[in-house]
Structure 1
Amino acid sequence: MDNTFSRRGVLAAGGVLLAGLAVGLSACAQPDSLAEQAKKGDNKNYVAGDGSVTEFAKADRTAPVALKGTLFDGTAVEPGVLKGKVTVLNFWFAACAPCRVEAPQLEALHQEFKGQGVQFFGVNLRDEKATADAFDKTFSLTYPSFDDKDGAVLLSVSGIVPPGAVPTTLVLDKDGRVASRVLGGIEKGTLKALITSAVAE
């Protein structure tokens, strides 16, 4: 069993750090909610996460993410873009209802943290450029998204992001390693605390 730990909870006002019981991931014997949703076959076309938050201790983080792909505007992104910056990766697609709910919160956090060296990227797994652009316009999103229909970005975080779990949001530390993960729609205050923690490292 590694020392990775998971904590659940809603942040109190004022950006209080996450609270709750730390639970070893490898010791968790609860039913797999993602697998259960996949078995239902209810045609919603995505598997919603349960909102669980996992933080990874610095000593237990995996190797830096080998992030490589192309943004919808045609810009090629190489792994070096992660070095020295906290990075937020949000996996989404336009027809995903929770993605639509959280989009304004992600944009608000992008605006709040961009002056602190934090960069945001969406990772779109299904949509064509016109659909992704319409989503960005609808929710006034100013951070870019990867066109990841080929799964290259998703593959770079294999084992961290379940293939069908959308939305999923990752916070990468300044070395490009996954510091925390939210499965399912974000709570703005929770993600703010996770970003703040990564910035402070």
Structure 2
Amino acid sequence: MRRSPRLRAHASHLVALLVVTLLITGCSAQNSSLAEQADAGDNKNYVAGDGSVAEYAPDSRSEPVDIAGKLFDGTTVDSSQWAGGVVVLNVWYAACAPCRVEAPMLQTLSDSFAPEGVKFYGINVRDEKPTAEAFERNFGITYPSFIDRDGKLLLGLTSYVPPQAVPTTLVLDRQGRVSARILGVADESTLKTLITDALAEGSSATAPAPATTAGADDAS
């Protein structure tokens, strides 16, 4: 039996209405998902560490870190300039939520260890200068950061910094070797201990040898 034109038109209208409803529902679900991602921050663009801590014994450490790069203030810094001192390197970028969490703590430790000659450097893997400087002003960061949008600095640290593992914090001993690593947000007391260990190890290693009595024996 043939359907009347009116019935065919009504059926077509129902199909069209169903399609529009499905499209709206799908778009709403997608928009909701995007909103949730936006609320969560830029979390899709980094691989957060699990907070694991590794401290390496002196006889198991690799060769000294060999990196050079430009800071946001235009200064060029080479790791050879760090010889004899303990250095802390922190990989970060402004939109990284865990980086915002640990920033005040890093500044506190930077201030605390400055009298002992410990140097702190950030390694910024994404931002342009205005964005990085706004972050530093917001969190009161006074130690400098390298520009590393091309990843050249991280390339020299691949043995210790997994790709896109932001934040990551490294402690370098007085010989420029990695003595400790924290993947993810650094705990203040843990990082303080790792820095203190590196300082104590260095001071004992560089302690002057006891004076000999050969001259006194010869004189007698």
TM-score strictly above 0.5:
yes
RMSD: 1.1
Residue in structure 2 matched with residue 63 of structure 1 by the alignment = 63
Question: How far did 1:44 drift?
Answer: 1.8
Deviation readout 1:54-98 (Å, 9 max, x if unpaired): 011100100000021100000001121220110000000000000
| Aligned positions, number | 160
Q: Check conservation: 2:169, 2:183, Cα contact below 8 A.
A: yes
Q: Which amino acid aligns with 1:114?
A: A
Q: Which runs of 4+ in 1 moved over 2 A?
A: none
Instruction: For 2:179 and 2:50, locate their aligned partners in 1 and report how far apart those are by CA, in whole Å.
Output: 19
Amino acid at match of 1:120: F
Q: How does 1:41-120 map to 2 (within 5 A)?
A: 44-120=44-120
Measure the CA separation in 1 of the matches of 2:193 and 2:173.
Answer: 13
Which residue of the partner structure matches residue 33 of structure 2? none
What are the superposed Cα offsets for residues 152-174 of structure 1, whole Å, 9 maximum, x if unpaired? Answer: 21111111100110000000000
Give the SS at the match of 1:130: helix
* Higher-Rg member (1/2): 2
Q: What do the CA deviations read for 1:100-145 (whole angstroms, capped 9, x no partner)? A: 0000000000000011010000000000000000000000000000
1:182 paired with 2:182, answer yes
Tell me the TM-score normalized by structure 1.
0.78
Q: Is the 8 A contact 2:71 2:146 kept in 1?
A: yes
Instruction: Tell me the SS of whatever aligns to 1:44.
Output: helix
Residue aligning to 2:7: none
TM-score normalised according to structure 2 size: 0.71
Once the two structures are aligned, what percentage of the paired residues are identical?
A: 59
Q: How does 1:1-201 map to 2 (within 5 A)?
A: 44-201=44-201
In structure 2, C-alpha distance between the alignment counterparts of 1:89 and 1:50, rounded to whole Å: 18
Cα shift readout 1:4-29 (whole Å, capped 9, x = no counterpart): xxxxxxxxxxxxxxxxxxxxxxxxxx
Normalized per residue, the structure richer in helix is 2
**Which amino acid is the alignment partner of residue 154 of structure 1?**
L
Task: Identify unmatched segments of 5+ residues in structure 1.
Answer: 1-41
3-state secondary structure, aligned to 1:186:
coil
